[in-house]
Amino acid sequence: QVQLVESGGGVVQPGRSLRLSCAASGFSFNKYAMHWVRQAPGKGLEWVAVVSFDGSDKYYADSVKGRFSISRDNSENRSYLQMNSLRGEDTAVYYCTRGVIITLSPEIDFWGQGALVTVSS
């Protein structure tokens, strides 16, 4: 069965960096775009970034553009979210999610359990 397992969350000071990792299994990883979606405490869902099935295309929400970087390793079945210059408003549960072959389609059918990132001094 499809599984997405995030790791790398934790508490980090403002301005510092953190990298989230997502281990995927149970499907042909190299055939799907992978998204990161977050949910701040008490808030709704917010799309963060997507990487195409082959890693050639990457797109970001304006709120993280220039600070976050998404990538993937199809040989390891892993997706990554490098988060730099973190701010308090980046505090959220970050979900690794599976898209479809069309990179910017919001057809997101599987979600990980989420990784909590807390940005605080």
Partner 1 sequence: SALTQPASVSGSPGQSLTISCTGTSGDIGASNFISWFQHYPGRAPRLIIYDVTARPSGVSFRFSGSKSGYTASLTISALQAEDEAVYYCTSYSTSNSVVFGGGTKLTVL
Is 116 a binding residue for partner 1 by CB under 8 A? The answer is no
Shortest Å distance, C-beta 2 to partner 1? 12
Residues 113, 31: Cα–Cα separation, whole Å: 22
- Find the binding residues for partner 1 in span 8-67 (CB under 8 A): 35, 37, 44-47, 50, 59-62
Report in angstroms how near the CB of residue 48 gets to partner 1 at its nearest: 9
Q: Site for partner 1 (CB under 8 A): which residue of 54, 76, 89, 109?
A: 109
Please spell the DSSP secondary structure of 92-115, one letter per residue.
EEEEEEE--SSTT-----EE---E
Which two three-digit tokens encode residue 75?
Answer: 């040989």
Question: Does 79 contact partner 1 by CB under 8 A?
Answer: no
| Cβ proximity of 81 and 48 under 8 Å | yes
Q: What number of other Cβ atoms are within 10 A of residue 23's Cβ?
A: 16
Residues that bind partner 1 (CB under 8 A): 35, 37, 44-47, 50, 59-62, 95, 102, 104-109, 111-114
